[in-house]
Amino acid sequence: MSEILAFQGLLFVCATTAFVASLRLLRRILELRHERALSVPTTGLQERLDRIETTVDATAVEVERIAEANRFMAKLLADRNAGALPSSRPERVITPH
């Protein structure tokens, strides 16, 4: 009877070890599948980020160009209005009524 009990104990230990090893293998396979799924879109994502960066740089240059044009126009208008102002104001005349 003790041989059967020893055999059952050994079988239980081996089965438990095999079960735990199978679970670890399954977990590792799922982790690798998840990592592969995450790494696939990064190539397309990197290209997209590069295009966005290029667009933002181009937009910044255009905004700076427009701001410079506005400053130039404001300076021209200020210079034009400064020349149109009379150099001296006429004196006030008080007329009797």
Q: Where are the domains of the chain?
A: 1-39, 42-83
27: pLDDT strictly greater than 90: yes
The larger pLDDT score, comparing residue 17 to residue 39, is at 17
User: How far is residue 86 from each of residues 68, 79, 82, 93, measured CA to CA in Å?
Assistant: 30, 14, 9, 18
Burial annotation 56-86 (CB, 10 A radius, 16+ → b, else e): eeeeeeeeeeeeeeeeeeeeeeeeeeeeeee
Q: What is the mean pLDDT of the chain?
A: 88
Contacts of residue 21, Cβ cutoff 8 Å, sequence gap at least 6? none
| Average confidence (pLDDT) over 14-37 | 94
Per-residue pLDDT of 52-90, as tens digits, reads 999 999 999 999 999 999 999 999 998 887 765 555 666
Percent of the chain with pLDDT over 70: 86
Spacing of C-alpha 90 from chain mean position: 63
So what's the pLDDT on residue 96? 78
Is the dihedral angle over the CA atoms 64, 70, 74, 77 positive or is it negative? positive
Percent of the chain with pLDDT over 90: 62
